[in-house]
Structure 1
């Protein structure tokens, strides 16, 4: 019922999907808890390789602020 389709070309977690370990499905859900069983959803991968891959895709541009000096 809540099962999400696998996205093409991008990871599931990078696409905003979450995994329920009890139901063993990926869910496109805004909440923190599984709507089926009530257990907490996993939002990050467990594997170190996939964690690094997710971090690389979600890095943000550094914020550069210009400071104007009035004399």
Structure 2
């Protein structure tokens, strides 16, 4: 199996938001970076706001990082 970042922010959904998975587990649909940071914090990732731009930890799929939350 190919290597994958532990956090995946999936493509924007037509109804808005971006599904987020941590280590393959669905943790919710983020509607902002604030939501995303909270999901990561709850998943036990310290300094979640500092890792959003680290491609070794977070993979942004189907859109630019920090964009595509709104419908």
Pick the TM interval, shorter chain. under 0.3
TM-score relative to the length of structure 2: 0.27
**Higher RCO, 1 or 2 (CA under 8 Å, sep at least 6)?**
2
